[in-house]
Amino acid sequence: MNSISLVLFEDNDRLRESLVFLLNNTEGFSVLADYNNCNDAASAVRIYKPDVVLMDIDMPGKTGVEGVRMVKEAMPFTAVIMFTVFEDEDKLFECLCAGANGYMLKKTPPGKLFEAIQEVKDGGAPMSPSIARKVLNSFKHIRSTQYNLTPRELDVLQLLIKGYSSKMIASELTISFDTARSHLKNIYTKLHVNCGKEAISKALIERIL
């Protein structure tokens, strides 16, 4: 019942089959489906609703980067762990933006990988140590660029994160209450969120500030 359900996307048949075998013979894990490409990733996760998706980056056809994007669009709360041999910073960055929840190198021993699966299911962000730093570096690039927040909007967002109310933001920035709220609304639109709380989460988690 509380076993973690998975769907795998991995073009290397031997590796994939090994993983499926290992996972299905490990208590607490059950592989619902596995694919050698992620062309149908969206429908796959919609059908199986797995707790966790293990996604290779380098696959023929659609790349894992597109894969994670599709998964996240289809089922936003499905945890996705990228599983790759390469430590390509650009791809890493793209995957982050696409919403991947973890990054494990293929050289990771199975035990660690299983821990990572458990961890990501628990809301963690497992990453192979060697790419952890890269991840931080990638995030530095983001710093709002992604959402095209204006300088003023960043000011507002920063205060919002401090827990300031619209009124407080207005007085802090010496602008009118309505202007502050106007900025907030624009921020929400740009961040694709519907309220301040979501904006704060997104900003803090994605390290926009």
Taking Cα atoms as reference points, which of 162, 203, 159, 202 lies closest to residue 181?
159
Cβ–Cβ < 8 Å for 117, 29: yes
Binding residues for DNA (CB under 7 A)? 148, 150-153, 165-167, 173, 175-179, 181-185, 188, 194-197
Q: Give DSSP secondary structure letters for 165-186.
A: -HHHHHHHHT--HHHHHHHHHH
- The item of a copy of itself, DNA, none sharing an interface with residue 175, based on CB under 5 to 8 Å by kind, is DNA
As given in the structure block, the two tokens for residue 161 are: 């994160």
Count of residues engaged in binding a copy of itself, rule: CB under 8 A: 31
Q: How far is the CB of 141 from DNA (least distance, A)?
A: 16
Coil, helix or strand for 43? helix
Coil, helix or strand for 128? coil
Q: What residues from 175 to 194 belong to the interface with a copy of itself (CB under 8 A)?
A: 193-194
Query: Which position among 21, 122, 150, 185 is part of the footprint of a copy of itself (CB under 8 A)?
Result: 122
> Which residues would be at the binding site for a copy of itself (CB under 8 A)?
115, 119, 122-127, 129-130, 132-133, 136, 140, 158, 160-163, 165, 193-198, 200-201, 204-205, 209
